[in-house]
């Protein structure tokens, strides 16, 4: 492959070929609607996307590439294809998935062992390509083990037996240790990413750098952004721990005086933890610097030619710029060529038919399966969503689960969680289901808990975060009502921060009334709550769940009989189900610590309200946990598409939900091609894509990005060989 020596930034590079993958041959059909100036620039320069990544590694050091975007646009395929191409160029390359719902092994057609943070060599790339799906749980254990010395309750018991344990308990250190041993959701992904960076920066047996390039396949937009902001939280958390150490000398002296404990042994354990925490803090600071270093890191945004994907892409590019993360490339995937014909769709149908056979054999015996066609235009707005609902939900037989949901007793509240792999149509399905229930007479609200909201985009409305927005009655055909809500992440997190901090600090507002109280006042455990000034990842979804429960408990005139929850993609949806239990236990420890503090301090006038608010939130979490596992009040609708990669993830999701005792009511198989697909049908899809491509072109020009357009392949790009062909199209220099 001959590579040219320039990277032209700010131009548009387009390949439009519907049948590009048939027989691993490709032909280029260029659309005449793009700017002639951009075409001339590409013709003169022979633009090679990602050319700088293919440069010889000598003297330039390790390079990291994060690949992200809206779910379902092909992030994992693009990540893998880039990695294969770099490996073929002789660069030792590691491709890593940090998405909790891994599909990297599915795309590479390689069994990547779960529960192991070891890189696996991928056959067919001359020992230059390695892959791993990070085990966040194992990385988190390594982190908590490293700071275990701050668990003074365990250390005191180990050294002083029951007397030491009682001493620690009297000071409230056991409750503090419980909080320390259970860091919030999202921290696990960060420490796992840190482990990947350590691995990549290591050396092999000969002393050579382990890898030249690291490609990181991220979770969908909202959670990818949260991961990029997480270093600030963890660095602040470790700062607070190290500051806490300086206040412990008086307590250690007290332990020696009162109990005869070996203060030297206590100090040695604590100092070892300090060294480990300081080492972690240095690593996390280095990771934070790495993410914003344009010479070492870049973010590649992947989009699809749909209105919802374009809107989310615009927000993602803006957020990355605000975060100081370098973005040079924008890939728009699954683009149909103007000459697309029925041969292309015939090939797609063959793949879908095979996938539906898998659905029938593996899923239909466990859950109801609903098939939804691939519409030749994007369905946005209430009227279009009604059309989707009529095709998806109405044809089912009377007495089906859809019929029961829509026409059942409105006095029986139902919570419906809609989830699945990114990009399969969860938001559209949620919104269409909301219209369906409202038309049937139900008072319905659709709520988005995904940090990267697109509910307003699907409804064709500008939703104000945190505000319940009514949908015009004129757009509904029944006696019900329809509302929409995108949870306001910032205000919800601020509310949570204030609640927990007030609960602890109010207990310390009085004066000390005992010797132990004076020692505890010097220790100032409540100061550790200031770590919440930088909210931990996952708090947004925690508080979003509390908002959902408030809707379930609402007894006002606007009480909703149907609550449709549009959730984040698979991995974070599964985490969402564990959050009520996590938050309930966390608040239990916080309140125990608060009670302990109040035993040493005189109560202040503000103590009771703070305690009551905290207890009420805890009760809400335990109540919500019960609702999620009550099949009479809650069900989960899984949305998927008929591809091997999507179905593999769907099967894992269904099994996980069943093991979590969450009722799975339906699997919706979306985007199925009709047997009578015509050329006119395809032309309408192409016209819709053209509009979106124009918007993506503007985003690229406004943000100085190279826009690379990739064809919609008529078979899935899987295994090294399929990904190699995909990568050659993605990364080769081309002329228009």
Q: Three-state DSSP class for 191? A: helix
Closest by CA position to 212, among listed 329, 120, 122, 89: 89
Burial state string for 22-44 with b = 16 or more CB within 10 A and e = fewer than 16: beeebeebbbeebeeebbebbee
Task: State the Cα torsion 324-448-624-364 to the nearest 10°.
Answer: -110
> Distance (Å, rounded) from C-alpha 156 to C-alpha 255?
9
- Is residue 450 annotated as part of the catalytic site, yes or no? yes
DSSP annotation of 477: -
Question: What is the dihedral sign for C-alpha 63, 731, 691, 482?
Answer: negative
The two tokens of residue 330 are 């924008």
* C-beta of residue 218 within 8 angstroms of C-beta of residue 68: yes
| C-alpha separations of 735 from 39, 536, 705 in Å | 8, 47, 18
By CB neighbour count within 10 A (0-12 exposed, 13-18 middle, 19+ buried), where does 704 fall? Answer: exposed
> Distance (Å, rounded) from C-alpha 707 to C-alpha 700?
6
Contacts of 551 (CB under 8 A, 6+ apart): 445, 447, 560, 563
Residues in the chain: 736
> Distance (Å, rounded) from C-alpha 384 to C-alpha 148?
56
Starting at the edge strand found earlier in the chain, the sheet holding 443-448 runs: 368-373, 664-672, 634-641, 414-420, 562-566, 443-448, 481-486, 469-470
**Stretch (H or E) spanning 209:** none
**Stretch (H or E) spanning 199:** helix 187-200
Q: Which listed residue (19, 88, 99, 188) is catalytic? A: 99
**Stretch (H or E) spanning 163:** helix 152-170
CA 20 centroid distance within chain: 31
Burial state string for 472-491 with b = 16 or more CB within 10 A and e = fewer than 16: eeebbebebbbbbbbbbbee
Closest by CA position to 133, among listed 147, 159, 115: 115
Q: Which listed residue (135, 174, 217, 450) is catalytic? A: 450
| C-alpha separations of 480 from 58, 85, 241 in Å | 66, 54, 53
Residue with tokens 């004066």: 511
- Is residue 106 annotated as part of the catalytic site, yes or no? no
Catalytic residues: 99, 450
């Amino acid at each position: 492959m001959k590579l040219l020596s320039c990277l032209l930034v700010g131009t548009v590079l387009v390949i439009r070929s519907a049948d590009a993958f048939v027989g691993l041959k490709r032909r280029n059909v260029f659309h005449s609607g793009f700017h002639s100036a951009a075409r001339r620039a590409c013709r003169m320069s022979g633009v090679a996307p990602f050319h700088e990544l293919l440069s010889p590694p000598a003297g330039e050091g390790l390079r990291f590439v994060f690949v992200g975007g809206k779910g379902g646009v092909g992030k994992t395929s693009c990540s893998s294809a880039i990695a294969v191409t770099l490996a073929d160029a002789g660069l030792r390359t590691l491709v890593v998935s940090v998405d909790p719902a891994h599909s990297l092994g599915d795309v590479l057609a390689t069994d990547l062992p779960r529960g192991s943070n070891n890189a696996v060599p991928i056959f067919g790339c001359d020992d230059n390509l390695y892959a791993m799906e990070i085990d966040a749980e194992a990385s988190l254990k390594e982190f908590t083990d490293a700071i275990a010395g701050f668990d003074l309750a365990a250390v005191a018991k180990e050294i002083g037996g029951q007397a030491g344990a009682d001493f620690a308990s009297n000071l409230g250190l056991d409750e503090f240790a419980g909080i320390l041993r259970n860091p919030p959701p999202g921290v696990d992904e960060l420490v796992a990413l840190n482990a990947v960076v350590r691995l990549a920066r290591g050396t092999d047996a000969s002393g050579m750098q382990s890898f030249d390039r690291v490609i990181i396949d991220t979770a969908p937009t909202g959670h990818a952004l949260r991961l990029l902001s997480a270093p600030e939280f963890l660095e602040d958390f470790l700062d607070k721990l190290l500051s806490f150490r300086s206040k412990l000398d008086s307590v250690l002296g007290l332990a020696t005086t009162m109990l005869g404990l070996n203060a030297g042994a206590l100090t040695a354990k604590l100092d070892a933890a300090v060294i480990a925490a300081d080492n972690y803090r240095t690593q996390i600071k280095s990771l934070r610097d790495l993410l914003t270093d344009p010479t070492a890191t870049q973010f590649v945004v992947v989009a699809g030619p749909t209105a919802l994907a374009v809107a989310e892409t615009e927000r993602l590019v803006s957020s990355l710029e605000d975060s100081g993360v370098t973005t040079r490339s924008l890939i728009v995937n699954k683009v149909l060529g103007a000459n697309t014909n029925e041969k292309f769709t015939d090939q797609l149908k063959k793949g879908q038919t095979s996938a539906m056979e898998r659905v029938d054999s593996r899923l239909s015996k466990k859950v109801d399966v609903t098939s939804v066609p691939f519409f030749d235009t994007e369905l946005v707005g209430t009227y279009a969503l009604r059309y989707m609902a009529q095709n998806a939900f109405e044809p089912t037989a009377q007495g089906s689960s859809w019929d029961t949901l829509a026409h059942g007793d409105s006095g029986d509240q139902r919570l419906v969680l809609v989830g699945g792999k990114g990009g399969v149509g969860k938001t559209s399905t949620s919104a269409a289901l909301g219209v369906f229930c409202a038309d049937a007479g139900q008072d319905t609200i659709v709520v988005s808990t995904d940090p990267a909201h697109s509910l307003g985009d699907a409804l064709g409305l500008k939703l104000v975060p945190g505000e319940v927005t009514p949908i015009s009655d004129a757009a509904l055909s029944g006696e019900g009502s329809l509302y929409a809500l995108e949870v306001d992440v910032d205000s919800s997190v601020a509310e949570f921060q204030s609640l927990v901090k007030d609960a602890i600090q109010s207990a310390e507002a009085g004066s000390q009334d005992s010797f132990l109280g004076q020692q505890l006042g010097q220790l100032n455990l409540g100061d550790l709550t200031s770590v919440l000034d930088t909210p931990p990842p996952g708090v947004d979804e925690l508080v979003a769940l509390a908002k959902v429960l408030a809707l379930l408990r609402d007894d006002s005139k606007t009480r909703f009989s149907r609550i449709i929850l549009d959730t984040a993609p698979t991995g974070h949806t599964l985490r969402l189900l564990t959050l009520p239990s996590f938050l309930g236990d966390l608040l239990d420890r916080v309140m125990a610590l608060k009670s302990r503090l109040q035993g040493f301090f005189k109560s202040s006038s503000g103590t009771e309200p703070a305690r009551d608010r905290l207890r009420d939130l805890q009760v809400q979490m335990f109540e919500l946990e019960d609702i999620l596992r009550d099949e009479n009040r809650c069900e989960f609708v899984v949305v998927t598409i008929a591809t091997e990669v999507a179905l593999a993830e769907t099967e894992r999701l269904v099994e996980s939900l069943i093991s979590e005792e969450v009722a799975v009511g339906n699997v919706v198989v979306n985007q199925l091609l009709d047997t009578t697909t015509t050329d006119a049908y395809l032309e309408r899809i192409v016209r819709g894509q053209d509009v979106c491509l124009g918007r993506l072109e503007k985003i690229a020009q406004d943000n100085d990005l190279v826009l690379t357009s990739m064809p919609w392949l008529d078979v899935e790009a899987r295994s090294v060989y399929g990904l190699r062909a995909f990568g050659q199209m993605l990364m080769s220099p081309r002329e228009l």
